């Protein structure tokens, strides 16, 4: 009887340690991002750019590629800064982000605020300015990867 109580206690302690070791969303980290995205579109748009992730004490160069389909036209450049949250390692930032957008920019000062999520659960909160001439009502996808230096 004493032996079975000790075994139960050991199993309960092991289970408690196992649950404590599983990282929760509250233990996920965040980083800062800076992106510059160039876009040209007429119905179908293409975008490309680069950026930097600052995570922990390191900086990681990023590459950005994208495609949009819908009512869109123009040429623009967006300079965005913000945060990425719900990541445990820098590689969680890499992935495909998507959103449905509507907006316009004419020459200078078009404000952009966007929140995106990738398949790993990383959440980008970006803000910045867009310059150029562009009108859009489209479904956009953006792929972020790590740039080779």
User: Does 62 map to a domain?
Assistant: yes
User: Does 10 map to a domain?
Assistant: no
User: Does 19 map to a domain?
Assistant: no
User: Does 22 map to a domain?
Assistant: no
Q: How far apart are CA 13 and CA 26, in angstroms?
A: 23
CATH number, domain with residue 65: 2.40.128
In this prediction, residue 73 carries a pLDDT of 81
Q: What is the pTM of this model?
A: 0.70
Q: How many domains does the chain have?
A: 1
Model pLDDT for residues 54-77, shown as the tens digit of each residue: 999 999 999 999 877 776 788 888
Residue 124 structural domain: 28-146
In this prediction, residue 65 carries a pLDDT of 92
Can you give the length of the chain in residues? Answer: 149
Instruction: Give the CA-trace dihedral at 126, 130, 134, 139, to 10 degrees.
Output: -10
Q: Assess contact for 66 and 48: CB atoms under 8 A.
A: yes
| Ranges under pLDDT 70 in the chain | 1-27, 71, 99-112, 135-140, 149
User: Does 16 map to a domain?
Assistant: no
In this prediction, residue 14 carries a pLDDT of 44
């Amino acid at each position: 009887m004493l032996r079975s109580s000790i075994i139960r206690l050991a199993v309960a302690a092991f289970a408690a340690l196992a649950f404590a070791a599983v990282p929760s969303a509250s233990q996920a980290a965040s980083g800062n991002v800076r992106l510059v995205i160039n876009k040209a579109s007429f119905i179908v748009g293409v975008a490309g750019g680069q950026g930097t992730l600052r995570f922990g004490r390191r900086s990681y160069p990023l590459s950005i590629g994208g495609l949009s389909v819908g009512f869109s036209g123009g040429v623009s450049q967006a300079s965005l800064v913000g945060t990425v949250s719900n990541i445990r390692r820098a590689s969680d930032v890499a992935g495909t982000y998507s959103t449905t957008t509507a907006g316009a920019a004419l020459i200078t000062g078009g404000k952009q605020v966007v929140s995106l999520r990738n398949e790993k659960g990383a959440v980008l909160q970006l803000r910045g300015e867009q310059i150029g001439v562009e009108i859009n009502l489209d479904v956009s996808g953006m792929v972020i990867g790590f740039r080779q230096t």
